[in-house]
């Protein structure tokens, strides 16, 4: 019954385009599932346990899905140069106005986009073994850097600090001591993000290692 329905749909055309192509559809399902598993593992089991940041977890997965389907569906479409440049310029200006993306998050974003593009645009000139090996290497290297080599993960928090007299460079040690006492965290370094002299407050980013807070 299902095979008969698929056979009928394969002969249907809408606006000069096939309504259903069994071979291409199955290829889309398999490759998209494979890409989602690879990217999902990296961001859920390597990135998220280290950062506990659900916002970027959500972003990475959706960007991966979007980039994959975009590249896969446009693979055989002839694009004009201006349109193609504009399309990829969108990804070049990705930015969140509330807070610039930190370097580590940008690295994971680049990995997610790179893997999705690679898995979407792979063709018959590249064997499945090469594709599988490349994806596995992405996971292995990321795992090694995140879990084995870089044993400590540096976490950060933004706080509003009212003792702006302590933000002077020569009073750095006093500032660290005050923040450690008030937060209970073994703070390693501090960044002064901005100062509001009207309210006598400063926006400070503190850094600490989560493994040392046990």
166 touches 174 (CB < 8 A): yes
Residue 137 vs residue 121, higher pLDDT: 137
66 touches 17 (CB < 8 A): no
Q: CA–CA separation, 28 vs 26, rounded Å?
A: 5
Q: What ranges do the domains of the chain cover?
A: 2-149, 154-213
Supply the Cα-derived Rg of the chain in whole angstroms: 24
Give the residue ranges of DSSP H helices in 75-102.
81-92
pLDDT band at 58 (very low <50, low <70, confident <90, very high): confident
pLDDT band at 20 (very low <50, low <70, confident <90, very high): low
Q: CA–CA separation, 183 vs 208, rounded Å?
A: 11
Q: CA–CA separation, 31 vs 37, rounded Å?
A: 10
| Section 139-164 average pLDDT | 78
Question: What is the residue-averaged pLDDT of the chain?
Answer: 76
pLDDT band at 62 (very low <50, low <70, confident <90, very high): confident
pLDDT band at 153 (very low <50, low <70, confident <90, very high): low
């Amino acid at each position: 019954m299902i095979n008969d329905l698929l056979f009928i749909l394969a002969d249907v055309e809408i606006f000069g385009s096939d309504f259903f192509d069994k071979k291409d559809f199955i290829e889309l399902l398999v490759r998209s599932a494979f890409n989602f598993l690879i990217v999902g593992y990296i961001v859920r089991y390597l990135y998220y346990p280290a950062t506990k940041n659900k916002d970027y977890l959500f972003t990475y997965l959706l960007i991966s899905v979007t980039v994959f389907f975009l590249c896969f569906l446009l693979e055989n479409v002839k694009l004009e140069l201006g349109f193609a440049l504009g399309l990829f310029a969108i990804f070049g200006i990705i930015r969140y106005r509330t807070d610039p993306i930190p370097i580590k998050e940008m690295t994971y974003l680049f990995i997610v986009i790179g893997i999705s593009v690679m898995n979407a645009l792979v063709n018959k000139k590249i064997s499945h073994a090469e594709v599988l090996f490349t994806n596995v290497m992405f996971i292995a290297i990321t795992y090694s850097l995140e879990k084995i080599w870089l044993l400590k993960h540096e976490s950060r928090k933004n706080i509003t600090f009212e003792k702006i007299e302590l933000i002077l460079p020569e009073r750095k040690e006093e500032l660290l001591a005050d923040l450690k006492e008030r937060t209970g965290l073994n703070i390693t370094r501090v960044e002064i993000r901005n100062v509001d002299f009207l309210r006598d407050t400063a926006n400070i980013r503190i850094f600490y290692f989560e493994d040392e807070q046990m």
